[in-house]
Structure 1
Amino acid sequence: MPVLFVHGVAVREEGDLGWEDLHRATRGVDWPGVQRLLREHVAPGLNPDAPDAVHVERVYWGDLGAHFTQGGQFRAAREREVAPEPDPLALDGDALGEVLERRLRAAHPVSEWPGVIHAAWGAARDGTVRALLADLPPAERWDVLDAAAQARLPIRTRRLEPHLPPGLMRARRRNVKRALQEVRRPLEAFVPLFLGDVLAYLNGRGTPEHPGPIPQRVLAGLRAAHAARTHPGEPLVVLTHSMGGQLIFDALHAFLPADPDGAGVRVDFWCACGSQVGAFHELGFTLGGPHPAPHAGGRLGYFWNVWAYTDLLSFRAQGIAPGAHDTAFPLSGLVRSDHLAYLLQPDFYRTLAAKVAVHAGPPDGADRPLESGA
């Protein structure tokens, strides 16, 4: 009575690259918790006499996903406090222009930035100004440069109405930046790794004859779950979350048919929760062609697609992906956390157990017929 779980993107085990960033953002998928709930609510329906004997495993592929090659230096939240400015005479014209532009931008509203840019670079490239700086003590040079750039601003920019002094304007910008960095911090790691894992799979999944590392791991998990059956009629149940659904769809419709070791592997019941299978299939990103067989040539029984109105990363699949049956699952309504909420709710697992009982049934030693798709 095997049950196999396949997670989605942006999931890492402790010790893998990216774990700290993702754990801070979402806490990730709690596999021990998922395993416990599957054993508590699904396993008894598969083996009432010995639920602990049910093979409950997962396919972990987070270590094969994307990772930051330079520690995520692109993130604004990783930005450090600006170091003291170097002596302007130590900078060439281009470097001086960049620094002077940044200083002036921080002291002016964005509506004045076009004039600020021209003024900063004009002062930085003025040989007379550079000669003047050479006659000044180093501590006075930046003040003179700022003044030289300010003098080049358009008259409308150097207006007479009340205006925050440059120092106060810079301080206010720094305070706003610090506050917004705290807002961005958890998302700046999660979003790139989320998208990166999607691209890592799509770019590296290979072909049915030559599957990439992630499909190979999924195939190995399916073969192991199939081998854990105690008799031929025993159902194999697969639960996927998010991008895990696309991995199983491709495995059933493309990779398994070409796998010489996958003969006889059949998923009797597949629940794809929080998935994007319907969206990916309609966009043409799934394997198996635009109109694959609803039951994957006998390799799939019932396909239950679970989505939620408040899970903005989940989508309908019925009538789009072959054989899919949709259910909109009621969640808490917290948009930020509802994408993972299915996996935390006992009611979801109890509902899953009921669906499995109806569509895969208790093991009876005989092969079940394929679902009609009704």
Structure 2
Amino acid sequence: MEPYSSLLSLLLTLSASITAVHSQVDTCGSDLSTFLPSPFNASGLDCKPIWNGFILRYSQNQDNILSIVLSAVYTSGWVGIGFSNDGMMIGSSAMVGWIGDGRAYIEQYHLLGQTSSDVIVNEGQLLATDVAPAVVLFGANIYLAFQLNFSASVPRQALLFAFSTRSPNSYQLTQHDDKTSISFDFSAGNSAYSSYPYQLKRKHGMLAIFGWGVLLPLGAIVARYCRQIDPLWYYLHVVIQFVGFIIGLAGVVAGIALYDRLHSNITMHRALGISILVLGALQVIAFFIRPEKDCKLRKYWNWCHHWVGRLALFLAAVNIALGIQIGGANYSWKVVYGIILAVILITISVLEIMLWTSWTRKTASPSAF
């Protein structure tokens, strides 16, 4: 019987361990009264799973005081919730909590820009109440609990959620590992959220960079510096430019869809995008009305084709850089496009020097008899 007793004891121990681990995972049914201070330990808080293990508990009373308890799986770093007017980071205010040096921290930050120096601690537009905010680490989760005082009832609010596994340094936040933005309805009994279109924004940027910023310059390079492999250069040029235009057009369509969802005030970026699309369309039309080589209009066609194309490429480079800036892209986007632009410019410089050197040699060489 001893082997069976040992096996039974092992199974009971394993079951108890699994139960203990499961009890540490936060759910909307978890009891907060054992570890959160009043009034955040009340059972009457509405609860909504949000994103990536984040759970939002909330209540709003007749005095327009909003009680928030945000929980998330936690190992290190910081966890934050922001309140925004338009779903964007810049200009919003956030409550951020973390555990460091054996202490719990929760601070308000004013998010004035994308860099750490523009995220200002102890500033923001959120009005706290007399109830002190709290941060509690319980089991595998961190809990941020605080109250905000609003001038009127908050029916729907754009909320930002973010986290980082790197702890703040002297209250200066490190860059987040991931983030999302939702529109949340705080109305009683009607909680709903819709995601901010981060994926659509990424697709818009990636399509624009690859179409307008990579393929079209590559096609132009082939046309100018590969004439010696006639007629292969011409077919390569046409194919690359058509594919680049189609991908760039897809980026424009994604940009229109993004604007329809955000209605952001990005007049310059939109105007440049439309101009580039028009110039690109003119290049496509020019392909179908290309005069024969012996036609008198051919030299004017060549002149228009070359300079319209150069203008389109220049505006595309400017607009891509502008889009990366106003879109709040992280540092990796700037590095990647910076490398792409540098490679293109260096390649053109080297090929241009080689081309002019070749022309100089041909001009200087004596004519054959």
Which is richer in strand?
A: 2
TM-score range, shorter chain: under 0.3
**Higher RCO by CA contacts (8 Å cutoff, separation 6 or greater):** 1
TM-score w.r.t. length of structure 1: 0.25
